[in-house]
Structure 1
């Protein structure tokens, strides 16, 4: 949530940045949803749309970075305002990388589709993890927009569910590949997909962690067992 400042133009700058960030986030969410859908039913036109839209996401990242530089140069913010701008910059980096992972999911889905004649591989864990990652990304962005530490903390906790699905799938794949050597290539593609989805969950968690950084000035990245403090929406 953007706080009121003495400068109405600064408020407008912050609102514009938040709006651009959320718009970029919406594009990445759509990328992830489309990518997961290609795993169930590959569609060449959807694959092309994912590839083309990634270019727009990269453009959005550069434009927001430029806007951030302009705001910092004009306003010379301090304390929480500076943390907010730094966190916004880090958020767009995580969103760009999440979009890269979504593209990787779609590329692997195309390879998997080309190998369908070899057999069918059930992947409920991967599909569930993909849906969880899309939801987690949406909730992380919402928590950042509202600076809601409770919601951000829940995102961090819920990322564990994606990790559990990833571990369950990789554990199942080891004996599967031993028993089905003709399908090793497809199984490996699915494992790459599962890993990409796990990374999207990690990027969502990173965005949630930036909420604590902005609100309290504490950087908890890489801190084992770290949790956001419980509080009301700021």
Structure 2
């Protein structure tokens, strides 16, 4: 009976940490949505809310990190449980960095509102890229919640689309700057936002790869799409 009680308590501790990671992911996902909306609609109050929410994300990262450390020290987990804890430690780092990128976009919004230099045509295109990156994060968190390793391939393919759109944006901005030097300042700032979105996609892809490690025990970083598909579908 004592042993059964210990196991139930252990499972409850793991589930509590897992819930915090998903809560952190939900906050970060909303940060992306709000940061982009603040940019497109030139909404300084929404931008300030995104920046403020970053403090909650940082606090959750510290909590999860401490909880995981305590579980490792007290419970000495092995096999799948240990992989899940290591996965969560890595995931919260990527989530925190995604939150930082969203906060960067929000601060840029405040800057453009103050100087009244919003350039809407380019931000409309950036919104498409940002929606892709946000969907990648949503799918990665869903894969974690469901312990579903099969999502890694479509997420990696979406990451390539984000990268392609980022490169296309760079080429367009270079063309604008060459044709009209007056656009250089704003073009560089649009490039700054585009890079933040591209980094969000990279972090979301990282999380999906951690899910494969958690479920399959296989590190799929730095491998080809074909190898990734094989590992994700392997029983």
What TM-score comes out, normalization by structure 1 length?
0.90
How many pairs are equivalent?
A: 229
Aligned to 1:203: 203
Aligned to 1:56: 56
Aligned to 1:152: 152
Quote how far apart the aligned CAs of 1:168 are: 1.1
Quote how far apart the aligned CAs of 1:220 are: 2.0
Quote how far apart the aligned CAs of 1:116 are: 4.2
Aligned to 2:95: 95
Conserved? CA contact 2:112–2:118, under 8 Å: no
Using the alignment, how far apart are the partners of 2:69 and 2:87 within structure 1?
13
Aligned to 2:132: 132
CA distances 1:179-234 after superposition (whole Å, capped 9, x unpaired): 221221111111010010010000100000011111222212233445143449x9
Structure 2 SS opposite 1:96: helix
Using the alignment, how far apart are the partners of 2:119 and 2:62 within structure 1?
43
CA separation of 1:91 and 1:186: change in aligned 2, threshold 3 A = same
Conserved? CA contact 1:108–1:190, under 8 Å: no
Conserved? CA contact 1:111–1:189, under 8 Å: no
Quote how far apart the aligned CAs of 1:112 are: 3.2
CA root-mean-square deviation = 2.1
Quote how far apart the aligned CAs of 1:125 are: 2.8
Aligned to 2:228: 227
What TM-score comes out, normalization by structure 2 length?
0.90
Using the alignment, how far apart are the partners of 1:215 and 1:177 within structure 2?
47
Using the alignment, how far apart are the partners of 2:117 and 2:207 within structure 1?
40
Structure 1 SS opposite 2:122: coil
CA distances 1:92-148 after superposition (whole Å, capped 9, x unpaired): 000000000001111222333345458654343311011111111111001011111
CA separation of 1:41 and 1:152: change in aligned 2, threshold 3 A = same
Quote how far apart the aligned CAs of 1:16 are: 0.6
Using the alignment, how far apart are the partners of 1:119 and 1:231 within structure 2?
45
Structure 2 residue runs of 5 or longer lacking an equivalent are none
Structure 1 residue runs of 5 or longer lacking an equivalent are none
Aligned to 2:37: 37
Conserved? CA contact 2:38–2:106, under 8 Å: yes
Conserved? CA contact 1:119–1:183, under 8 Å: no
Structure 1 SS opposite 2:221: coil
